[in-house]
Copies of this chain bind each other. A is one copy, B any other.
């Protein structure tokens, strides 16, 4: 007895995989059906239209995307702790779901309005993070700078290597997949070490 029928789950898995590989426009309903080992009519039976199906997949992806960093604040004490958690949760997430960054970036780009509603209902609260960082800076625990800049930098360092993986793999690692993989795995630590000098010793 499951909330989602097995078929529904199978469809969502297939759809997620095809949509992130080819995008909304490039995906074919028939291909999704094939990957799910199911009749194409079932897609419409469960989700009515391609757009509705995509909307669902996108929403679920987007909701995994943002909350990480907010959560890591509420659970953390020191700045060091916060940075470790923020970076760590992103890197872990993208190691497990490498399709997420480019999927979100691509689709937000071709239809920016799509996230408007998700941001509102999703409770995205960047303000909390900005204020947290500003606090720590004023307390002299973090190098003073534009907190938005720091936030963007942390996100850039955490996300870009995953979004740009195919490029990085070919242009910087000469196509050596294994090297790239361990490089990405280590990111959790290297990004933190890279940012560590921003933390001011408490004494």
Contact = CB atoms under 8 A, between A and B. Distances in A.
Interface of A: 21-26, 66, 102, 104-106, 108-110, 112, 115-116, 119, 124, 126, 130, 145-146, 148-149, 151-153, 155-157, 159-161, 163-164, 166-168, 170-174, 183, 190, 194, 197
A108 B173 contact: no
Contacts of A171: 66, 115, 119, 124, 126
Contacts of A174: 126
A39 to B, nearest CB: 24
Majority secondary structure, A binding face: helix
Contacts of A146: 190
Contact of A166 (B24, B109, B163): B109
